[in-house]
């Protein structure tokens, strides 16, 4: 199985390519491209969170505990929460990830279990989608797809490392097929994973519809502001040269 360094290198290359493509072809703002590329690189470590206590687990959980509340600030603000409530909610999320999630991972996950699977990649993307709410839906899809790409890079590398070239063609190790899979051998982890995929999918779809509606209303208000110029004008949007 490829080590931590192979994974982070692979997902960093994928993230850099993804960010560059979004910058040149997609015309996304540079901060969004950098955020997507960075998240893609970090997501390359995610599936190995199931490999038991160690430096990767501790560091990635601590990183997630710090970054997820920051990603959610925008969302909290839009919900109209006062600053104090945002701080409290951020602290609660930090504690839940730092202690709750690491307890779960240490005690209830098997290496190459459902954490190494395609539905798990979907869950990682859905969680990012729900945590990160941007004004434009495109930016949101871009950032959550970055996590899915990083996650998939890890699974693909795991599979590549389980094939070895022998004298009579490729030889397959026992671990082959345990990373890029739809379901595992046990019933309960499969049920829990798919239930989570469905629930998060429903939440994400509802949230996407709501964001779209809000964007529509905002557009109409901007239109009105242009027609009636005594409304406070929006400051000019930054234009990036490319
Ligand atoms: Zn792995």
63 or 94: which leads in pLDDT: 94
User: Ligand 1 centroid to 202 CA: how many Å?
Assistant: 28
Structure confidence at residue 126 (pLDDT):
93
Per-residue pLDDT tens digits for 123-163: 999 999 988 887 788 888 999 999 999 999 999 998 888 77
Distance between CA atoms of residues 90 and 95, nearest Å: 9
The confidence band for 211, taking pLDDT boundaries of 50, 70 and 90, is: confident
Q: Return d(Cα 82, Cα 87) in angstroms, integer.
A: 9
Q: Average pLDDT of 20-30?
A: 89
Cα angle 171, 176, 182; round to 5: 150
pLDDT at 4: 79
Q: Could you tell me the distance, in angstroms and rounded to a whole number, from the CA of residue 38 to the centre of ligand 1? A: 19
Cα(158) to centroid(ligand 1), Å = 5
CA R_g for the chain: 21
170 pLDDT tier (thresholds 50, 70, 90): low
Domain boundaries, given as residue ranges, for the chain: 4-52+109-227
Distance 196 CA to ligand 1 centre (A): 21
Mean pLDDT in the chain?
A: 84
38, HSE (Cβ side, Cα atoms, 13 Å): 9
25 CA → ligand 1 middle, Å: 31
Is the pLDDT score of 55 beyond 80? no
């Amino acid at each position: 199985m490829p080590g931590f360094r192979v994974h982070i290198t692979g997902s960093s290359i994928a993230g850099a390519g993804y960010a560059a493509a979004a910058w040149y072809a997609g015309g996304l703002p540079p901060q969004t491209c950098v955020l997507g590329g960075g998240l893609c690189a970090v997501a390359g470590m995610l599936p190995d969170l199931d490999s038991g206590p160690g430096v990767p687990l501790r560091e990635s959980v601590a990183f997630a505990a710090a970054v997820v509340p920051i990603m959610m600030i925008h969302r909290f603000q839009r919900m109209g929460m006062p600053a104090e409530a945002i701080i409290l909610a951020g602290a609660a999320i930090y504690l839940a990830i730092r202690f709750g999630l690491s307890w779960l991972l240490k005690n209830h996950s098997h290496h190459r279990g459902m954490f190494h699977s395609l539905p798990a990649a979907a869950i990682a993307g859905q969680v990012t989608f729900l945590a990160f709410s941007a004004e434009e839906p495109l930016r949101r899809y871009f950032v959550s797809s970055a996590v899915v790409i990083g996650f998939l890079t890890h699974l693909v590398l795991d599979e590549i490392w389980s094939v070895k070239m022998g004298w009579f063609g490729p030889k397959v190790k026992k671990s082959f097929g345990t990373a890029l899979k739809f379901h595992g051998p046990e019933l309960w982890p499969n049920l829990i994973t798919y239930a989570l995929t469905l629930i998060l999918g429903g939440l994400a779809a509802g949230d996407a519809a709501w964001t779209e509606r809000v964007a529509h209303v905002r557009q109409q208000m901007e239109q009105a502001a242009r027609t009636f110029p005594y409304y406070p004008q929006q400051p000019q949007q930054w234009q990036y040269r490319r």
